[in-house]
């Protein structure tokens, strides 16, 4: 059965459809939402030979032009963006065109940003193919590319017109990528849903083993949670900032690894653990809460320490310099999302730099 979640915003609204076998009906979704408007399909090049991509091409019709996107974080760059612009123009994009993007978070972020700016904005549809992109980056309209100074520093808020989450796309996803998505999943529970955290403690292994019913339920819970937050704060002025739990640390880790040594979710996993520990150190939450989060991630063999991400020592001062460029910062103050307990996240901008340096050193930095 297809689950449908509505995102309701001040200026627009759209639906997220969750279920199995959705993409065999993609032409029906297109006609219902866009009538007979022309379309262009963009896709992660790693998915070129997948049967599902063949189905999408067939269903969208022979007149639909296709554009491959190089895989990996390197595609979230100005060079890749310019190449995509040129390919879209060559493919005949106009203001009536609907751009479809089939892939994970990198493809979704890049194509979403291109859709928001080419011809001053055209409609696009997200078809996320990883657990992480299904529960996070495909929902809410944040699009971005990276700068040499940090992750997602160049971007826009631009909502998709439709999101199709087909759980069948996860069948071939690697264990590492499933765990990467799980790190973002547990984030929602820690932010504002203790009961979901308890549910994940019982069912995390079922999710990672791709048990269909548990996957569908957990994805739906995350999408509904994010939909509520985005509806309250589309432009990330207050509540939506909470969705960055663990990310102040994680984005610094990714930057220092040149976006190559770790997945985003692996960086977030360690970032969440450090956010919980920092909350404990600053007396915002009890140690038992911090330990509970860390132990759950450890039980599923997700990374929880800096040494799990970096083969060599990483300097605390270097990490802090990267954190200073984080897009959440305000008035040159590093902002963290910390917790007062599981399900009780809050925005904190009162961490002194020297205390942060000592904390990072205590937790594996040099």
Q: What pLDDT, in 10s, does the model give residues 128-153? A: 999 999 999 999 999 999 998 889 99
Contact assessment for residue 300 and residue 360, using Cβ atoms and an 8 Å cutoff: no
pLDDT band at 185 (very low <50, low <70, confident <90, very high): very high
Which listed residue (76, 226, 255, 328) is catalytic? Answer: 226
pTM, two decimals, is 0.94
Task: Tell me what the mean pLDDT of segment 178-190 comes to.
Answer: 98
Please report the pLDDT score of residue 327 as a whole number: 81
Q: Give residues with Cβ within 8 angstroms of 241, minimum separation 6.
A: 233, 328, 335, 337, 347
H helical segments located in 162-246: 175-192, 194-208, 212-232
How many CB atoms lie under 10 A from the CB of residue 362?
A: 11
On the 0-12 / 13-18 / 19+ scale of CB atoms within 10 A, 15 is middle
Residue of 87, 146, 152, 244 marked active site: 244
Check residue 324 and report its DSSP letter.
T
Q: Which of 278, 310, 313, 276 is nearest to 295 (CA)?
A: 276
Whether residue 240 lies in the annotated active site: yes
Catalytic residue among 10, 49, 120, 331: 120
pLDDT tens-place string over residues 70-93: 999 999 999 999 999 999 999 999
Q: Is 244 a catalytic residue?
A: yes
- Segment 310-360, tens digit of pLDDT: 988 999 999 999 999 888 888 788 999 999 999 999 999 999 999 999 999
Query: Which of these is catalytic: 151, 247, 255, 328?
Result: 247
87 included as an active-site residue: no
Tell me if residue 30 is catalytic. no
The pLDDT > 70 percentage for the chain reads 100
Task: State the virtual CA torsion across 193, 199, 200, 201 in degrees, nearest 10.
Answer: 110
Catalytic residue among 73, 76, 179, 184: 184
> Within 10 Å of residue 236's Cβ, how many Cβ atoms?
18
- Is a pLDDT exceeding 90 seen at residue 236? no
Positive or negative, the CA dihedral 109, 115, 121, 125 is: negative
Give the pLDDT score at 332: 81
Q: Residue 105's pLDDT band (boundaries 50, 70, 90)?
A: very high
For residue 308, indicate whether it is catalytic.
no
Q: What is the rounded average pLDDT of the residues 42-70?
A: 97
Q: Report how far residue 16's alpha carbon sits from residue 226's, in angstroms, rounded to the nearest whole number.
A: 12
The H helix count followed by the E strand count for the chain is 13, 11
pLDDT at res. 141: 92
Q: What is the pLDDT of residue 162?
A: 97
How far apart (Å, rounded) are the C-alpha atoms in residues 81 and 136?
Answer: 22
User: 51-81 b/e with 16+ CB inside 10 Å = b?
Assistant: ebbeebbebbeeebbbbbbeeebebbbeebb
Token code pair at residue 130: 């990883």
> Is residue 236 annotated as a catalytic residue, yes or no?
yes
Q: How far apart are CA 40 and CA 100, in angstroms?
A: 6
* CA trace torsion 19, 24, 26, 27 (10° rounding): -150
Facing residues of 337 across strands? 347
pLDDT category of residue 9 using cuts at 50, 70 and 90: confident
Catalytic residue among 39, 179, 187, 251: 251
Catalytic residue check, 264 = yes
Q: Is 251 a catalytic residue?
A: yes
Per the annotation, the verdict on 247 as an active-site residue is yes
The whole-number average pLDDT for the span 92-115 is: 98
Distance of alpha carbon 251 from alpha carbon 146, whole angstroms: 11
Q: Which domains does the chain have, with CATH numbers?
A: 3-170 (3.40.50.1970), 175-362 (1.20.1090.10)
What is the predicted pLDDT for the residue at 331? 79
């Amino acid at each position: 059965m297809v689950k449908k979640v509505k995102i309701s915003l001040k200026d627009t609204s759209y639906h997220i459809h969750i279920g199995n076998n959705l993409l065999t009906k993609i032409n029906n979704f297109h006609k219902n939402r866009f009538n007979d408007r022309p379309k262009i399909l963009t896709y992660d090049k790693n998915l070129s030979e997948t049967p599902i991509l063949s189905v999408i091409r067939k269903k969208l019709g022979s007149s639909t032009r296709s554009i491959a996107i190089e895989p990996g974080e390197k595609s979230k760059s100005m060079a890749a963006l310019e190449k995509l612009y040129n390919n879209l123009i060559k493919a005949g994009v106009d203001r009536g065109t609907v751009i479809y993007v089939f892939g994970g978070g990198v493809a979704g972020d890049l194509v979403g940003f291109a859709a928001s700016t080419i011809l001053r904005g055209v409609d696009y549809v997200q078809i996320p193919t990883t657990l992480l992109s299904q529960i996070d980056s495909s929902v809410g309209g944040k699009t971005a590319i990276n700068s040499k100074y940090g992750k997602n520093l160049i971007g826009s808020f631009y909502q998709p017109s439709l999101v199709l989450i087909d759980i069948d796309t996860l069948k071939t996803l690697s264990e590492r990528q499933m765990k990467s998505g799980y790190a973002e999943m547990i984030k929602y529970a820690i932010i504002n849903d203790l009961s979901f955290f308890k549910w994940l403690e019982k069912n995390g292994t079922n999710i990672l083993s791709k048990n269909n019913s548990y996957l569908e339920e957990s994805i739906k819970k995350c999408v509904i949670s994010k939909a509520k937050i985005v509806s309250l704060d589309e432009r990330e002025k207050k509540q939506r900032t909470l969705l960055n739990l663990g990310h102040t640390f994680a984005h610094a880790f990714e930057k220092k690894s040149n976006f190559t040594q770790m997945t985003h979710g692996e960086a977030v996993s360690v970032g969440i653990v450090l956010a919980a520990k920092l909350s404990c150190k600053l007396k915002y939450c009890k140690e038992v809460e911090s330990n509970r989060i860390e132990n759950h991630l450890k039980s599923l063999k997700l990374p929880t320490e800096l040494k799990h991400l970096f083969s060599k020592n990483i300097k605390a001062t270097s990490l802090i310099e990267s954190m200073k460029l984080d897009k959440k910062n305000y008035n040159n103050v590093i902002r963290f999302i910390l917790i007062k307990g599981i399900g009780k996240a809050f925005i904190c901008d009162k961490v002194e730099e020297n205390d942060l340096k000592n904390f990072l050193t205590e937790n594996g930095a040099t």
